[in-house]
Amino acid sequence: MNKDIEQTLIFEISKPGRIAYSLPLPTVEEEKAEDLIPASFLRSEDVNLPEVSELDLVRHYTALSNRNHGVDSGFYPLGSCTMKYNPKVNEDMARLPGFAHIHPLQPVESVQGALELMYDLQEKLAIITGMDEVTLQPAAGAHGEWTGLMLIKAYHHARGDFKRTKVLVPDSAHGTNPASASVAGFDTITVLSDERGLVDLEDLKKKVGEDTAALMLTNPNTLGLFESDIVEIAKAVHEAGGKLYYDGANSNAIMGIARPGDMGFDVVHLNLHKTFTGPHGGGGPGSGPVGVKKDLIPYLPKPIVRKEGDAFVLDYDRPESIGRVKPFYGNFGINVRAYSYIRTMGGEGLARVSKEAVLNANYMLARLKGAYDAPYDVHCKHEFVLSGRRQKALGVRTLDIAKRLLDFGYHPPTIYFPLNVEECIMIEPTETESKETLDAFCDAMLQIAKEVEETPDVVLNAPHTTVVKRMDETLAARKPVLRYHPKEEVHA
Amino acid sequence: MDFRYLPMTREDEQAMLKTIGVESIEDLLADIPASVRDEGTLAEVGVPLPETDLVRTLSKLADRNMNTKQYPSFLGAGIYDHYAPSVVNHMLLRSEFYTAYTPYQPEISQGELQAIFEYQTMICELTGMDVANSSMYDGITALAEAALLAAAHTKKKTIVLSDGVHPEAHDVVRTYADGPGLKVETLCLEDGVTAIDNLDALDDVACVIVQYPNFFGRIEDLKILAEKTHEKGGLFIVSANPLSLGLLEAPGNLGADITIGDCQPFGIPQSFGGPTCGYFAVSKALMRKIPGRLVGQTVDEDGKRGFVLTLQAREQHIRRDKATSNICSNQALNALAASIAMSALGKRGMRELATRNLQTAHALKKMLKENGFRIIDDGPSFNEFVVELPVSATSANRQLLEKGIIGGLSLDVIDASRANQMLVCATELRTKEELEQFVTALGGLTHE
């Protein structure tokens, strides 16, 4: 990889006549398309796709992969994203022909193994979260949030209660929470955090009422702090007739420690691509199953997998269901990976996962809180936040620190989130990283803190070692170029 | 028990606790109220399995499914049995791709960003649209999001769906429409295609959504549908099988405002229906309304070309409740699979593969007709069509399974009066011999 050379686009290496595909030998008559369908339906020009040989193709995507950082490349302490190791055997399991090459509309008797896996996964996720029933249909976390809110809406409406139009969301919440509330047709009311970084109970009590459909909460929250007033919070919401929604983004902290169902939550979504090792894939696919307590079961999307005697069936007979949220049965391939992980770890392993994730985060916090401000200097759970305000006072921003970390071979932490922490740096190590890795990262962070004081330009001009330097994001937004145009077609 | 994914030794644990200044991990959990502490319920999840036992257990489950590598399948209806070139999986398993997060740090994510930029370009070329996003969950949720976009853009409240659109898309749209309180109306089919004249009777039309080719296999005349829709002031939304676009005129050239669909035919396994990869492409006028992530080209400090996520002011992490959609995770890795597969096909391969699908399905249609079967609403089609059977299609499928054939979809899912009709699909993977076996088996169906 030569970092001085611009990476070509696959369109730029295209040459007419090359191909990286071979069509099966013909067995049926090779009639012309225009003899089979009216010519008026046919496209006038072929699709302008790149024409490359198979080796061209392999070199191109290999080159691209070399310009990308994954968990396998190095430490990835991205807060609230749970960038843990993605086990290789899970990839193999999802690719077994009996899982990868089955059609969702095959007769159920021909897919009993797939249905059994789904049924068992539903059961196991219900145990892990302390809920009564689980649907595997939502495709991702945000999709699960929206599904959960639609369930809550259906629940209220079924009781003739149409005045609950508001969803409460703490100021530290992920952006998907208010966005999902909006797509589900609710207005969002922001609940403030108090000086502890937790939900301000007084503010909550002021805002919760007979127009409250639900409170959405991440616990531990995005500051990595356990909402220790959870029992009072649940009581306040329930007494007002609202439902409590658990955003499972941070569930890596609580397995075997405290279950959402026991905390008083009525609806839970899990991100199987976070806690349960589904790979993030550069942005997806994920999987966002939703679990509910008994009184919400009737509204779950259809179908649900059920066991009847020794057979597994798809239950569509759910008259009060909110309907479908996704075609077929969800992201089955990701669910296979999560199932493979759960079976590998067992209950004992999952409980250890959360405890070790918590220990790792607290260890890093202890090592870093001298050099960086720790706005909430208490024991955290699986992640924690630092503030770069001390460095900002010296003219170096959190963004610069993040860019400098790239030179050390690390993916930076989440930055500028949550929004209620100035110059926020949010670190989540996960349990799959060794003490040596944590130490090396902490050493880099301490060195950068020192550089900020002694040689700030090194940080301000970072990164120095990556294939490109800082990108002009303003230009990208002001003059959007969202696709490649062949050279001769470029307009000024 | 030792766990191969957990590196912490007892020695590490002690050293770390000491640095923190606590005695045990329990001390770190002291802020959790005792009343909500979990008392060992995870034991019910079961014991840990070593890798060998895990593989044995999951392989047994997988073996209980009849897979399409072993048995010829005539199922389509949104998920298709196509061949994924070997090279696709090899490239996907480059772990720099599959173990990466969303490319928010462009300096170390140029590979993913560029791959998405190329994907966006390929989708634009295929659909004839101006702008494509980086992917949606699947074709059907993409369709539902397109309906919401149209309602927000036109400030109208009626979503009009053709009955030629996938029935599960009807279901999903109804669920989505419940959020903002939109009305869903349908247009019936006449002679197998959308009866657009019925649109005259509808008001407040935000969009008309059709499928291309439609659910029952027929190729719709998009141009006329687009004109009628635009006369009503609605957006014209086309859900297109992307492989068919190797042959069929691009929706963007026929008046589509939004074209959506599922890239599953390109290198993505059927995987019991998911994960697939929704594509979403719009005309330039809707660029700032598009849901999800967009990658744009720019330059770095040295003027070198590079790529970033852009126009993020549409998205949930910036706009929160004012975002155009709540989508965050998408299907990036499957978009990569689709890009690799499309690059492997190239300009010529795309046409040839689409043509072979056309030829195979038409060969099957011809054989069925020669054997006395009636094709329902016979007319221009791509790789799917509906055949009438002497018995119920559910019963037929049971009998076919016994002969090792995975039959098509029984249309009793649409309505009971169509129980004897089967939606069949024949892709490039079906050989003449398999077609003959299928037709022979259908000829031998008995009333159970």
Q: Does residue A217 register a pLDDT over 70?
A: yes
Indicate whether A51 and A184 sit together in one domain.
no
Q: Give per-residue pLDDT as tens, B134-161.
A: 999 999 999 999 999 999 999 999 999 9
Q: Does residue A198 register a pLDDT over 60?
A: yes
Query: Cβ distance B388 to B54 under 8 Å?
Result: no
User: Which CATH number fits the domain that encloses residue B435?
Assistant: 3.90.1150.10
Q: What was the pLDDT predicted at A3?
A: 55
pLDDT average, residue stretch A129-138: 98
- Please state, in angstroms and rounded to a whole number, the distance separating the CA atoms of residues B267 and B289: 29
- DSSP per residue over A243-300, as a string? EEEEEETTGGGTTTTB-HHHHT-SEEEE-TTTTT----TTT------EEE-GGGGGGS
Tell me whether residue A62 is in a domain: yes
The torsion angle over the Cα atoms of residues B127, B129, B133 and B134, rounded to 10 degrees, is: 40
- Please state, in angstroms and rounded to a whole number, the distance separating the CA atoms of residues B261 and B242: 7
- Chain A residues touching B102 at Cβ < 8 A: 280, 282-283
Integer-rounded Cα radius of gyration of chain B: 25
| pLDDT-derived band at A11, boundaries 50, 70, 90 | very high
- Inter-chain contact A366–B19, Cβ cutoff 8 Å? yes
- DSSP per residue over A188-226, as a string? EEEEPB-TTSSB-HHHHHHH-STTEEEEEE-SS-TTS--
Q: What was the pLDDT predicted at B1?
A: 67
> How far B190 CA sits from the closest chain A CA (Å)?
19
Collapsing DSSP to helix, strand or coil, B242 comes out as coil
Query: Cβ distance A344 to B46 under 8 Å?
Result: no
- Inter-chain contact B401–A110, Cβ cutoff 8 Å? yes
- Of A401, A429, A404, A430, the residue nearest A416 (C-alpha): A401
Q: Does residue A491 register a pLDDT over 60?
A: no
- Of B245, B279, B270, B266, the residue nearest B337 (C-alpha): B266
Indicate whether B326 and B357 sit together in one domain.
no
- Inter-chain contact A51–B330, Cβ cutoff 8 Å? no
Q: What was the pLDDT predicted at B322?
A: 83
Q: Which amino acid is it at A2?
A: N
Indicate whether B118 and B249 sit together in one domain.
yes
> How far B12 CA sits from the closest chain A CA (Å)?
7
- Chain B residues touching A284 at Cβ < 8 A: 135, 137, 275, 329-334
Q: Which amino acid is it at A148?
A: G
Token pair belonging to B163: 């009955």
Query: Cβ distance A464 to A406 under 8 Å?
Result: no
User: Which CATH number fits the domain that encloses residue B116?
Assistant: 3.40.640.10
Q: Give per-residue pLDDT as tens, A326-379.
A: 999 999 999 999 999 999 999 999 999 999 999 999 999 999 999 999 999 999
Indicate whether A327 and A205 sit together in one domain.
yes
Q: Which of B341, B362, B395 is the last residue of a domain?
A: B341
DSSP tag of A13: G
Q: Which amino acid is it at A119?
A: Y
Burial of A317 (0-12, 13-18, 19+ CB in 10 A): exposed
The residues with which A111 forms a beta bridge, in sequence order, are: B65
Tell me whether residue B70 is in a domain: no
- Chain A residues touching B122 at Cβ < 8 A: 49
- Of A304, A410, A424, the residue nearest A70 (C-alpha): A410
Nearby residues of A288 by Cβ (< 8 Å), 6 or more positions away? A138, A139, A140, A141, A142, A143, A144, A145, A147, A269, A270, A271, A272, B329
Q: Give per-residue pLDDT as tens, B51-61.
A: 999 999 999 99
| pLDDT-derived band at A4, boundaries 50, 70, 90 | low
Count CB-CB contacts under 10 A for residue A82. 27
Token pair belonging to A449: 């803190």
Indicate whether B152 and B19 sit together in one domain.
no
A201 Cβ under 8 Å from any chain B Cβ: no
Burial of B297 (0-12, 13-18, 19+ CB in 10 A): buried
Token pair belonging to B92: 């996907």
Indicate whether A107 and A226 sit together in one domain.
yes
Indicate whether B216 and B245 sit together in one domain.
yes
The domain of A49 spans 10-66
Picking from A28, A88, A244, A348 by the largest number of B CB atoms within 10 A of its own CB, the best residue to mutate is A28
Indicate whether B306 and B402 sit together in one domain.
no
Q: Give per-residue pLDDT as tens, A60-94.
A: 999 999 999 999 999 999 999 999 999 999 999 99
Indicate whether B134 and B206 sit together in one domain.
yes
- Please state, in angstroms and rounded to a whole number, the distance separating the CA atoms of residues A113 and A310: 12
Indicate whether A237 and A172 sit together in one domain.
yes
In chain A, the number of structural domains is 3
Region class of A393: left (phi > 0), else alpha (psi between -120 and 50), else beta: alpha
Indicate whether B327 and B351 sit together in one domain.
no
Query: Cβ distance B336 to B406 under 8 Å?
Result: no
Give the percent of chain B with pLDDT over 90. 95
pTM of the model: 0.97
Check the CA dihedral A320-A322-A325-A330 and report its sign. Answer: negative
Indicate whether A367 and A439 sit together in one domain.
yes
Burial of B303 (0-12, 13-18, 19+ CB in 10 A): exposed
Helix A332-368 vs helix A435-454: crossing angle, to nearest 10: 50
- DSSP per residue over B22-55, as a string? -SSHHHHTTTS-GGGB--SGGGGG-----HHHHH
| pLDDT-derived band at B433, boundaries 50, 70, 90 | very high
Tell me whether residue B267 is in a domain: yes
Q: Give per-residue pLDDT as tens, A90-133.
A: 999 999 999 999 999 999 999 999 999 999 999 999 999 999 99
Indicate whether B117 and B212 sit together in one domain.
yes
DSSP tag of A302: S
Indicate whether A273 and A238 sit together in one domain.
yes
Interface of B with A in 194-213 (CB under 8 A): none
> How far B396 CA sits from the closest chain A CA (Å)?
11
| pLDDT-derived band at B321, boundaries 50, 70, 90 | confident
Indicate whether A416 and A319 sit together in one domain.
no
A51 Cβ under 8 Å from any chain B Cβ: yes
Tell me whether residue B4 is in a domain: no
Nearest by CB to A105, from B1, B75, B296: name it. B75
Check the CA dihedral A6-A10-A14-A17 and report its sign. Answer: positive
Indicate whether B382 and B327 sit together in one domain.
no
User: Which CATH number fits the domain that encloses residue A454?
Assistant: 3.90.1150.10
The overall average pLDDT reported for chain B is 97
- Is pLDDT larger for residue B267 or for residue B317? B267
Tell me whether residue B69 is in a domain: no
Burial of B332 (0-12, 13-18, 19+ CB in 10 A): buried
Beta strands in B310-406 (DSSP E): 375-376, 384-388
Q: Which amino acid is it at A149?
A: L
Q: Which of B311, B341, B371 is the last residue of a domain?
A: B341
B23 Cβ under 8 Å from any chain A Cβ: no
Token pair belonging to A178: 């208010």
Query: Cβ distance A36 to B248 under 8 Å?
Result: no
Order of strands, sheet of A424-427, starting from the edge strand that comes earlier in the sequence: A384-387, A424-427, A414-415
Query: Cβ distance B339 to B410 under 8 Å?
Result: no
Of all residues in chain B, the one with the smallest CA distance to A328 is: B273
Distances (CA, A) of A133 to A121, A130, A147, A289, B172: 11, 9, 14, 10, 21
- Please state, in angstroms and rounded to a whole number, the distance separating the CA atoms of residues A173 and B335: 29
Token pair belonging to B323: 């975002």
Tell me whether residue A486 is in a domain: no
Beta strands in A316-436 (DSSP E): 384-387, 414-415, 424-427
Tell me whether residue B170 is in a domain: yes
- Please state, in angstroms and rounded to a whole number, the distance separating the CA atoms of residues A407 and B286: 39
Interface of A with B in 426-455 (CB under 8 A): 431-435
Indicate whether A446 and A396 sit together in one domain.
yes
H or E, element range at B115: helix B110-127
In chain B, the number of structural domains is 3
H or E, element range at A239: helix A230-239
DSSP tag of A44: S
- Of A252, A271, A269, the residue nearest A383 (C-alpha): A252
Nearby residues of A456 by Cβ (< 8 Å), 6 or more positions away? A394, A395, A396
Nearest by CB to A280, from B75, B101, B249: name it. B101
Tell me whether residue A312 is in a domain: yes
Q: Which of B316, B341, B366 is the last residue of a domain?
A: B341
Token pair belonging to A95: 């690719």
> How far B198 CA sits from the closest chain A CA (Å)?
23
- Chain B residues touching A46 at Cβ < 8 A: 347-348, 350-351
Tell me whether residue A305 is in a domain: yes
Indicate whether B283 and B372 sit together in one domain.
no
Indicate whether A60 and A134 sit together in one domain.
no
Indicate whether B102 and B166 sit together in one domain.
yes
Query: Cβ distance A152 to A214 under 8 Å?
Result: yes
Token pair belonging to B142: 């993409």
Tell me whether residue B258 is in a domain: yes
- Of B237, B70, B264, B325, the residue nearest A327 (C-alpha): B264
Q: Give per-residue pLDDT as tens, B98-129.
A: 999 999 999 999 999 999 999 999 999 999 99
Nearby residues of B298 by Cβ (< 8 Å), 6 or more positions away? A471, A472, A473, A475, A476, A481, B305, B306, B307, B308, B310
- Please state, in angstroms and rounded to a whole number, the distance separating the CA atoms of residues B448 and B445: 9
Give CA angle at A368 (A363, A372), nearest 5°: 150
Distances (CA, A) of A225 to A196, A230, A385, A431, B366: 9, 12, 10, 17, 67
- Please state, in angstroms and rounded to a whole number, the distance separating the CA atoms of residues A170 and A188: 10
Indicate whether A470 and A417 sit together in one domain.
yes
- Inter-chain contact A143–B141, Cβ cutoff 8 Å? yes
Q: Does residue A490 register a pLDDT over 70?
A: no
Indicate whether A127 and A243 sit together in one domain.
yes
A190 Cβ under 8 Å from any chain B Cβ: no
Nearest by CB to B65, from A113, A345, A475: name it. A113
Indicate whether B273 and B330 sit together in one domain.
yes
Q: Which of A345, A366, A391 is the last residue of a domain?
A: A345
- Chain B residues touching A299 at Cβ < 8 A: none
Region class of A197: left (phi > 0), else alpha (psi between -120 and 50), else beta: left
Indicate whether A170 and A311 sit together in one domain.
yes
Count CB-CB contacts under 10 A for residue B393. 27
The domain of B23 spans 10-57
